[in-house]
Amino acid sequence: MKKEKYNVCVVGVGAVGEEMLRVLYQRKFPIGELKVLARRERDIVIDGRKYSVKEISPQAFESIDIALFAGTEGEKGAAVTYAKEAIARGAIVIDNGADFRMDPNVPLVVPEINPEDIKWHRGLIANPNCSTIQMVVALNPIHKIAKIKRVIVSSYQAASGAGRGPVEELKEQTKAILDGKDVGTPKNLPKRIGFNIFPHIGKFEALDYTSEEWKMAKETHKIMHDDKIAITATAVRVPIVNVHCESIYVQTEPHIAVEEIKRILRKAPGIILIDEPDPNAPDSDPTRRLYPMPIDADGKDEVFVGRIRQDPFVKNAFNLWVVADNLRKGAATNAVQIAECVISGS
């Protein structure tokens, strides 16, 4: 698919859909015609740019080269209904929803890791889960040097990972609590999110792990082409608007020194290493104690890594702290990067 310009369609204008439109513009994707589709027509404004949203239909995909479906966390996306319609009309579908990720006939892609999988697509490419993406970007460069055999991860996931409604609920609950008012019954999340955290993202499934936790294991196996890595996840919702954080414990088959891990990650694509704890720094100088935080990653496309520590009791094990913008690298940016790989032929 070699052209000077490509006709692009974004399906959905929730938090991820809006971010897709923003990322397409910021990364200067070579767009000919741009369509924005949703369940109902309306005009929206993003960063001062007006977009005319049209009602989705099979015919709307005529002449489209690339269709970006902005599925949200844990929900059935529009791709279930319309992906085949788009593909039949010549479009390549890149789906952010969960419906096709584990389909053996659909590549699941993080461009920094497995861009070669794009080449065997049949018109549909899946975008991984947000928490999976940032974890594998950090782990894969290490896995290439020192084979990983065990991962224990706890994810601390922002309200935006569940969509626009939970973000508004977080803001409303926070204001109510600060004003001394009752927050009422949660409408968008299973528990109160204002001034609270809870280990419940997705549906409870086998062995009482949630769907979000299983995604992190199964998707990692597929992306990294290694289903022998033992992965245990705990997914936690935290009361911040945007950016997911992960505490990751890793065991490798051979020993690998912390300095070697840092050297690998400094050179790895898509990663920014921030790891300068400086134990001698005075409390009055926090600029000398550096590690990634949500405020560092918000609005950024990279995965931030820090707090790399050797396990003091297990020679071939260490800890990582990984932070990334879940709406960008965890969703919209990764999808657009896939589209960039498609048009470049890589």
Report whether 57 contacts 40 (CB < 8 A).
no
Q: Which residues contact 286 (CB under 8 A, 6 or more apart)?
A: none
Whole-angstrom Cα distance, residue 245 to residue 292?
9
Whole-angstrom CA distances from 341 to 19, 119, 248, 346 are 19, 10, 29, 5
Q: How far apart are CA 183 and CA 189, in angstroms?
A: 13
Give me the catalytic one of 121, 244, 245, 341: 244
Q: Which amino acid is at 296?
A: D
In terms of Cβ atoms closer than 10 Å to its own Cβ (0-12, 13-18, 19+), residue 107 is buried
Residue (of 314, 325, 338, 300) closest to 252 by Cα position: 314
Q: What distance in Å separates the CA atoms of residue 293 and residue 306, rounded to the nearest whole number?
A: 9
Q: Write out pLDDT tens, residues 37-93.
A: 999 999 999 999 999 999 999 999 999 999 999 986 445 678 999 999 999 999 999
Phi/psi at 75 (nearest 5 deg)? -120, 155
pLDDT bracket for residue 2 (50, 70, 90) = confident
Over range 114-134, report the average pLDDT.
Answer: 98
Q: Which of 93, 102, 23, 97 is nearest to 58 (CA)?
A: 93
244 is catalytic: yes
Catalytic: which of 9, 130, 245, 341?
130
Q: Give the chain's domains with CATH numbers.
A: 6-127+331-344 (3.40.50.720), 132-326 (3.30.360.10)
What is the average pLDDT score of the chain? Answer: 95
Residue in this structure with the two tokens 């001062």, named with its chain if needed: 48
Amino acid 50: pLDDT: 96
**Dihedral sign, Cα of residue 124, residue 41, residue 4, residue 111:** negative
Query: At which residue do the structure tokens 């019954």 appear?
Result: 185
Q: Where are the beta strands (DSSP E) in the chain?
A: 6-11, 31-38, 42-46, 49-55, 66-69, 92-95, 124-126, 148-157, 230-237, 244-252, 271-273, 303-310, 317-324
* Bridge partners of residue 198, in order along the sequence: 237
Whether 245 is a known active-site residue: answer no
pLDDT tens track for 267-309? 999 999 999 988 887 877 777 789 999 999 999 999 999 999 9
In angstroms, what CA-CA distances link 88 with 6, 62, 64, 105, 123? 17, 9, 11, 17, 9
Residue with tokens 């999976």: 132
pLDDT in tens, 169-217: 999 999 999 999 999 999 999 999 999 999 999 999 999 999 999 999 9
- Does residue 23 have a pLDDT over 80? yes
Using CA atoms, how far apart are residues 346 and 344, in angstroms rounded to an integer?
A: 5
Rounded to an integer, the average pLDDT of 233-257 is: 98
Tokens of 99: 């419906």
- pLDDT more than 90, % of the chain: 92
Over the Cα atoms of the chain, what is R_g?
20
pLDDT for 289 equals: 86
The predicted structure's pLDDT at residue 1: 66
